[in-house]
Amino acid sequence: MFQFEISNYDDSFLEEEVADLLSQYLEKESRDRLPGLWKLTDSLNTYAQKGPGREKRKFRYNLYGGIICFMGTWLFIFGIMPPVNKSMIMVGVIDFLAAAFLFMLANKKRPSDIPDICHRPAAEMVASLRQKDWAKFKYRITVGNDRILITSEDGTEEIPNDRMGALYSTKHLYMVTYDNDKCLLIQKKDLASAERFEKVGRENDRG
């Protein structure tokens, strides 16, 4: 069990690490929805590191990225046309992300580089967190084997294990997703006490 006493989100590196967490989240969602495409991407990435034929591979990555980007654009446009199809919009966005990874491969960037699409929402999330004096209201998050408890002067909220999604990690942060569209952002420095470690959901760690 872990117990965190939440402090204010003042550190200057938070925006970059939150962007990294969002990148991990998007990659996992993309891999879950398009496993075949990611198998191809991983194979291309492994092959790209072998050395010879880089110019030809660069052409292929740009070609594959262009095709996937075109598919994503088509899906996104038709998804926003009445009647709105949210699933089609989501697949279109995932296609854009996959195309971005291929374009990064073509330009010899590491696949782990944080996509630009993650920086703006990360900055907005951190700015929102900084508007509140967390220490003043004595927020405490307790992570157990089967639930998470969020306590403060306003009361207690319980998140059982069946509502949790995945646990993501960077050097200074944890992010726990739950209810499909919500998350908890926890600073590792706020750890007040810990018993035996048990994973919450599925963990992705870059820290």
What's the pLDDT tens digit per position in 139-156?
999 998 889 999 988 899
**DSSP tally for the chain: helices H, then strands E:** 5, 9
172, 201, 199, 151: which is closest to 11 by C-alpha?
172
Higher pLDDT residue, 67 or 178? 178
Q: pLDDT grade, residue 47 (50/70/90)?
A: low
Burial 95-134 (b: 16+ CB within 10 A, else e): bbbbbbbbbbbbeeeeeeebbeebbeebeebbeebeeeeb
Diameter over CA atoms, the chain: 62
Question: Please, which residues bridge with residue 184 across strands?
Answer: 176
Q: Please tell me the pTM assigned to this model.
A: 0.62
pLDDT exceeds 50 at position 205: yes
Q: Give the CATH number of domain 2-15+120-205.
A: 2.30.29
- pLDDT value, residue 178: 93
Q: What share of the chain in percent tops pLDDT 70?
A: 83
- Delimit the domains of the chain by residue range: 2-15+120-205, 27-114
